[in-house]
Amino acid sequence: MLKFGKRINYRPLLVSTVSALVIGGLFGFNISHSLGIKVGIIIFTLIFLGHYLLILPIIFNYWDSDAKFIRYNDEINFGKRLFTMLFPKLDKLTVIDKKLIKSITIIGLPMRNGLLASALVVSTQGGFLYNLLVMMHHPVKLELTLTNNQKVFLDLSRDYVYQPAETLGKIKIFLHDFKPEQIKLNSTTQQVLANL
């Protein structure tokens, strides 16, 4: 079984709660308890809803593939995102039968170098901020067109940013399950996969 991305866990809830407790606690102990509670609620809301709710499909974009099926996290709906952030163990994967796939396209390959030459990015290329911004602004995805013309996008950005060679190898293995006429790749993407 091939696995891509990362499954949702308790990190959004824990990071938001701990940040709210620490910052709210500092205000509560030093200024006033009511101000500390208000600041804690604001910090929790900003991190949990303002940050994690918006970027959840970028950070936690798990999907896997076996001989017959593809299972993926369908996190388009904000209600489902919020539910999975609160109860990650209850997250259910959507299943696609590989027989229902009409065509496959890879979007975003090859990724250009020097994508973020901004003075605002102070971390190194291996840093979290750099990788997150690359995943947000230059995603690498598989576009599956099903027999009913529905399009499903499976994100590869996280894997590709952290381990490009291994991810390309896994993509090659994944594509072997399909007929050549189902795979719609541009010449540049074909060249990137052929150079492995």
Q: Per residue in 49-85, pLDDT tens?
A: 998 998 888 888 899 999 899 999 887 788 888 999 9
pLDDT at residue number 182? 86
Contact in structure between 52 and 42 (CB atoms under 8 Å): no
Which position has the higher pLDDT, 126 or 175? 175
Distances (CA, A) of 148 to 28, 90, 151: 57, 29, 9
User: In whole numbers, what is the pLDDT of the chain averaged over residues?
Assistant: 84
Q: What is the pLDDT of residues 139-160, one digit of tens each?
A: 888 899 999 999 999 988 888 8
What per-residue confidence (pLDDT) applies to 127?
A: 56
The model carries a pTM of 0.78
pLDDT digits (tens, 9 = 90+) for 25-46: 999 888 888 999 999 999 999 9
Between 130 and 183, residue with greater pLDDT: 183
CA distance 106 to 168: 11
Quick: pLDDT tens for 117-138: 444 444 454 555 677 777 777 7
| 89 burial via Cβ count (<10 Å: 0-12, 13-18, 19+) | exposed
| Per-residue pLDDT, 141 | 87
Model confidence pLDDT, tens digit, residues 93-118:
999 999 999 999 888 876 655 444 44
